[in-house]
Amino acid sequence: MVKLLYITNDTSKMIVKNFLYLEKALDELTTLKIWRQSGSIETIIKKLQFQPDFILIQNDIGNQLSPFIQGLSKIPIPVGLIINDVYRYQEPRRLYIKKNNIRFIFSIIRKQFLEIYPEFANRLRWFPHFVETEIYRDYQLPKDIDLLLMGSTDDIYPLRQKIVKAYEHDRHFVYHPHPGYGDITTKEEKGHFIGEKYARELNRAKIFFTSPSIYLYPVMKYFEALACKTLLLAPTFEELEALGFKPGIHFVAINEANFKEQATYYLNNDTERNKITMTGHEFVQQNHSLKIRAKQLVTEIKKIVETQKRRST
C-alpha cells in the first residue's frame, strides 16, 4: 500500500465530519499517518519516523490556514493540497502554494477554482463532495413530512429565502435553520439536526428543497438529500451536471418562478416522485459515496507516486 502522511485538523467535534470519515477510509486503503500541528515537514517526518510516498495537506477548515507546514519545497516527496472552500484564504493560499511549490491540488469545486486560480489549472485534481452512506441512507422511515428545507437562508441563498417566505404559513412545510458551525457538543444538546438526526429528518421528507447559493457550486445537500432517499427540488447548473446529476432523472430542477408549481405536482404524483427519488438515491450511493471517493483519491495518489518514481530512475 502507498505510504500516506495526511496533515489535517481534528474535525471530530465539527458539524461537517466528511474529512473525519475520509481519514478512516484512507486508513483502510493506505499505510496512513496523521499529523495535526504546524511545523517544519522535515521535523515532522523525523518525529513520526515515517517516510511517506505522498503528503496530503488539508488546512482550510478552521479560522486560519492551519496546520501551517513549512519546507515543503525542500523535500523530494510529492505534496497535495485539499481545498474545501475555494473562496476562503484566496491570497494567503496562493502564496502558500507558490512558496511551497505544491504541484497537486485536490479542490472540492472545479469551476470556481479555475476562475480564482487560473495559474494553477494544470495542478488541479477534481475532488468533489461525497457522503458517508452508513449515515446518509434510507432509514425506511415513514414519509410524514411533505415539504422540507434545512440550512442557511443567508442572503447568498435568495431562492431558499423565497421558499421559506412562500410556505411560512403552510402546515405541509417544515423548516429547520442551520445550526451554525463550530463545536457540535452544545448544538446537539440543544436539539439541532446534526449527523444521523439530520439524515433521518431528510429520510422522512417526501420533498426536500435546497439551492447552490449565488456562487453556483454543488453544496453537500445535493448529495445528502439523494442519499437519504428524498426527492430533491433544486436548481441545476453546469458543475452539478458535470458530476452526473441529471434533472428529471435524479432530481427536479426548479427556479424562483416555478418551485411551488413543481412541488405541488410531485407531491400529488406519487409514482413519478418515487421513480425520481429511487433513481437519485441509487445514483449517489453508487457514484458519490465516501468509499468511492476515497478509492478515487488513492488511485490518483498512486499514479502521482508511480510517475515520480519513474522520473527519478
Q: How far apart are the first and last CA of the chain?
A: 20
Same domain, 106 and 220: no
* Residue 14 forms part of a structural domain: yes
CB 123 within 8 A of CB 105: yes
Cell 439530520 belongs to which residue? Answer: 198
Supply the range of the domain harboring residue 123: 3-130+290-312
How confident is the model at residue 182, as a pLDDT?
65
For helices 158-166 and 259-268, what crossing angle results, to 10°?
Answer: 60
- How many other CB atoms are there within 10 angstroms of residue 268's CB atom? 9
* Residue 140 forms part of a structural domain: no
- Prediction pTM value: 0.95
Same domain, 105 and 230: no
Three-state secondary structure call for residue 81: strand
Q: Please give the tally of structural domains in the chain.
A: 2
Residue 244, C-beta contacts closer than 8 angstroms, at least 6 positions apart:
250, 283, 287
* Residue 72 forms part of a structural domain: yes
Same domain, 20 and 97: yes
Same domain, 56 and 155: no
> Exposed/middle/buried for 25, CB within 10 Å: 0-12, 13-18, 19+?
buried
CATH number at residue 307: 3.40.50.2000
Tell me the per-residue pLDDT of 171-204, one tens digit each, with 9 for 90 and over: 999 999 988 776 666 655 567 899 999 999 999 9
Same domain, 278 and 302: no
Three-state secondary structure call for residue 108: coil
* Residue 86 forms part of a structural domain: yes
**Weakly modelled stretches of the chain, pLDDT under 50:** none
Same domain, 220 and 302: no
Distance of CA 281 to the CA centre of its chain: 17
Same domain, 253 and 306: no
